[in-house]
Chains A and B, each alone.
Chain A
Amino acid sequence: MEISWFQAALLGLFACLSSMPGLGGTSFGNYTLGRPLVGGLVCGIILGDLTAGILVGVALQVVYIALVTPGGTVSADVRAISYIGIPLAMIAIKSYGLDAASADGQALAISFGTMVGTLGTVLFYGTATINLAWQHVGWKAVEKGDFKKLYVVDMVLPWISHILCSFIPTMIMCKMGAPMVDLIKIYLPMDGVTMKTLFTVGSLLPCVGIAILLKQIVTKAIDFIPFFLGFTLAASLGINLVSATVIAGMFAFINYRIKMLSLQRASAGSIDLDDEEDI
């Protein structure tokens, strides 16, 4: 599978829009275009294989389902995962002759995408560092009272940071991807230990993504119960995700009603107590 310069440039443009801090804005750029699921759709359209794009996107989405960036520290970069990792994974799957829907195809996609995503943090720090220069321009403008310049500083000048740290790296990596994957194929045959390990890692990595989410939800052992309810619904009963969400909604509704009732009780109870004290 070859990627043309035009396709590579389009992928580069989406990388500019989707990264954190992206030029598509937080909600639409980072949290929409940057998610591997949506990235898979976009890459699938650009590279002309929608199904493969979505399948690779879904596989990577599981790993990065909990990509929270507290205080601007990142462990992976969305532009690299979605617009370098997904295209390269698509090429690799094609090149190895795998089916993107098979467990092997998904595992390969995950190991490729995750590797690229982790290395991509360099791009994040690069963008943020270049932005310091524009902010410097901004401070001077504020001092002089030249407020209109603030818009240029906040919304126009960062394009330069992104051309350097998103557009060019993405375009080159995607364009060079096909020959690179061919090289990897020669040096790492599929039945060797390295490839077996790589595929196994691909099936283990999504556990980290799930665990990061659990870390936020679970503070004590009892908090695991909802997680295992969901797990059992899907694994043992074969209930799909949409149906599981409906069931979850019912439990949440009951929980909310109980909480609200106990709140009303508590406030009513405290009044009663006061009365008794008066007597």
Chain B
Amino acid sequence: MEKKLTKKVLNKSFHNWYYGNLTCFSQEHMQTFGYLCSMLPIVEELYSKKEDQQKAMHTYTAFFNTEPQVGSVIVGMTAGLEEARANGAEDVDDETINGLRAGLMGPIAGIGDSLVVGTVIPILLGVAMGMSTGGSPVGAIFYTIVWNLFAYFGMKLLYFKGYELGGKAVDFLVGPQGEALRESITMVGGIVIGAVAATWVSVQTSFTMIAKGETVPYLILQNTLDGVYPGLLTAVFVLFCWFLLSKKKLSPIKVMLLLVVIALVGVLVGFFNPGLTY
């Protein structure tokens, strides 16, 4: 009789992945154990004999690591493949399954890191920070609810699409339509990040020039700069950090240390002065 995975088993497998994808993380086997836990309900359902189960589980002991949220689609696809293998499909063996997993880990991690972690989360956080202006909890609550609904149902959708469609599910993500969609979301990301920078980052100089004998300075550099383009100094510092990170390939920690040096020199020459008093 044709073996068919029930909705209940697939749900169990999905939830194991949703919760456990990174709980037992190590540098050696990053998401391997999350994957094993996710495939276990499926293997137990499909194979009744212990040695068959053992053989099937052995496939998933290979190293696995990707962006775990978009990566749900890969887990869903292997659930579909395992079902096909249990039904005696000739062309599905350890090599096909692990070849597919190894081949998709990289591209899916790239999409997941840049789209979800690098764009969707910052957009949501940017909006939420706007709502939390002045110390209101509304933004934090908004982010918690919206992000978790998006993550849970998004991952569930990807898992089940992966199971139903197999390779076609990935084609959508990396295909031209998916690319157009990703490019548009990235554009929202760019605009929102610009607004976040202007709203929440404020680099200001205390540099002034006073003529001898006068009490009012004739040059307040901050005002002059803002007259050219509001927030100019902030924008310059952001671009400078971007230049160091992208073009000079410095690590974030090195850039931060460099900023400490710049701050110290700036304070000593009187360019920066937070104007602290008790």
CA distance A239 to B127 in the complex (A): 12
- Residue numbers in A under 8 Å from B21 (CB-CB): 25-26
- Residue numbers in A under 8 Å from B245 (CB-CB): 208, 211-212, 215
Q: Which of A35, A205, A212, A216 has the most CB of B within 10 A?
A: A216
- Residue numbers in B under 8 Å from A263 (CB-CB): 176-177, 180
Q: Which of A101, A128, A157, A217 has the most CB of B within 10 A?
A: A217
CA distance A87 to B43 in the complex (A): 46
Partner-binding segment picked from B78-86, B90-98, B191-199, B208-216: B191-199
- Residue numbers in B under 8 Å from A253 (CB-CB): 184
Q: Which chain B residues have a beta carbon within 8 Å of chain A's beta carbons?
A: 18-30, 32-34, 36-37, 40, 43-44, 50, 53-54, 57-58, 61, 65, 68-69, 109, 113-114, 117-119, 121-123, 125-137, 139-141, 143-144, 147-148, 151-152, 155, 176-177, 179-181, 183-204, 229-231, 234-235, 237-242, 244-246, 251-253, 255-256, 259-260, 262-264, 266-268, 272-274, 276-278
Of A25, A195, A204, A240, the contact of B276 (CB 8 Å cutoff): A195
Given contacts A70-B109, A75-B253, contact A245 B123 (CB under 8 A): yes
B137 touches A135 (CB 8 A): no
Closest to A206 in B: B201
Secondary structure dominating the interface of A:
helix
A193 touches B264 (CB 8 A): yes
| 26 residue pairs bridging A and B, Cβ less than 8 Å apart | A35-B121, A37-B128, A37-B129, A40-B140, A44-B137, A54-B135, A65-B196, A75-B252, A103-B202, A128-B25, A135-B33, A142-B57, A147-B44, A147-B53, A151-B37, A190-B276, A191-B278, A199-B274, A200-B272, A200-B274, A204-B203, A205-B259, A214-B246, A217-B119, A230-B197, A231-B198
- Residue numbers in B under 8 Å from A52 (CB-CB): 135
Taking the closest CB of chain B, its distance from the CB of A215, in whole angstroms, is 5
8 nearest CB pairs, A to B: A230-B194, A241-B130, A226-B190, A21-B25, A51-B135, A211-B241, A259-B180, A234-B198
Of A68, A132, A197, the contact of B28 (CB 8 Å cutoff): A132
Judge if A1 is at the interface, Cβ distance under 8 Å: no
Given contacts A37-B128, A154-B20, contact A72 B27 (CB under 8 A): yes
B259 touches A208 (CB 8 A): yes
Closest to B38 in A: A154
Judge if A92 is at the interface, Cβ distance under 8 Å: no
